[in-house]
């Protein structure tokens, strides 16, 4: 399995001179391939979480696309405006492609779930420590996590569906040097050491 954190743009498929139609089409094709791969990876992670009982819902198309944008910004921020300007078209194309391949099911509530089972031998790429699956990408900085750990009431008001236990466990993991945190453009990667 390829993890979200390993997914890359495949620049080898770009053709033609910059500014030509051929070049523009090949860049768009590269973005579509990246989007499909990223959405598949997100749906597989969602399937793993559902299979293990950690969650019981699928993902919305907008959440899938936001995942694509977050990873695209980490990989090549120059492509983010192109992705953003074509959000509806890219999302629709990806959903149609995944439906044609029989990889997804759209629930009555509009959420999407992957139609595959996970191979338990692939679980090594993710680790769970005190109910938190690592690696994890979030916009919440370690300082903000610490702030919320010290302000439970505020956390519950601002994140009513959030897990306060995850906040306190994250703080403990950081303080005990069990987790390293890397920041890139306002996003934080929490990884087990």
> How confident is residue 102, by pLDDT bands cut at 50, 70 and 90?
confident
38 and 85 both lie in a single domain? yes
13 and 67 both lie in a single domain? yes
99 and 184 both lie in a single domain? no
Task: Find residue 181's DSSP bridge partners.
Answer: 190
CA distance 170 to 178: 9
Total domains in the chain come to: 2
Residue ranges making up the domain that contains 79:
4-120
Please report, rounded to a whole number, the percentage of residues in the chain having pLDDT higher than 90. Answer: 34
Lowest-confidence range among 115-119, 121-125, 147-151? 121-125
Task: Find residue 132's DSSP bridge partners.
Answer: 129
> How confident is residue 121, by pLDDT bands cut at 50, 70 and 90?
very low
Output 177 or 47, whichever has higher pLDDT: 177
CA distance 110 to 140: 27
9 and 64 both lie in a single domain? yes
Please give the pLDDT value at position 150: 94
11 and 96 both lie in a single domain? yes
């Amino acid at each position: 399995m390829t993890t979200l954190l390993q997914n890359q743009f495949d620049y080898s498929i770009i053709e033609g001179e910059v500014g030509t139609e051929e070049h523009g089409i090949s860049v768009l094709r590269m973005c579509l391939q990246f989007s499909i791969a990223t959405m598949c990876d997100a749906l597989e992670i969602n399937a793993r979480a559902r299979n293990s009982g950690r969650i019981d819902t699928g993902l919305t198309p907008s959440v899938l696309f936001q995942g694509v944008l977050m990873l695209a910004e980490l990989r090549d921020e120059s492509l983010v405006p192109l992705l953003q300007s074509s959000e509806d078209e890219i999302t629709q194309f990806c959903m149609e492609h995944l439906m044609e391949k029989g990889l997804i099911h759209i629930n009555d509530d509009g959420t999407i779930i992957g139609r595959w089972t996970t191979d338990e031998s692939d679980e090594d790429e993710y680790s769970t420590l005190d109910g938190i699956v690592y690696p994890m990408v979030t916009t919440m900085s370690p300082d903000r996590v610490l702030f919320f750990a010290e302000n439970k009431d505020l956390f519950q008001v601002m994140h009513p569906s959030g897990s306060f236990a995850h906040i306190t466990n994250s703080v403990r993991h950081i303080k005990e040097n069990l987790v390293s945190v890397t920041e890139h453009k306002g996003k934080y990667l929490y990884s087990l050491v």
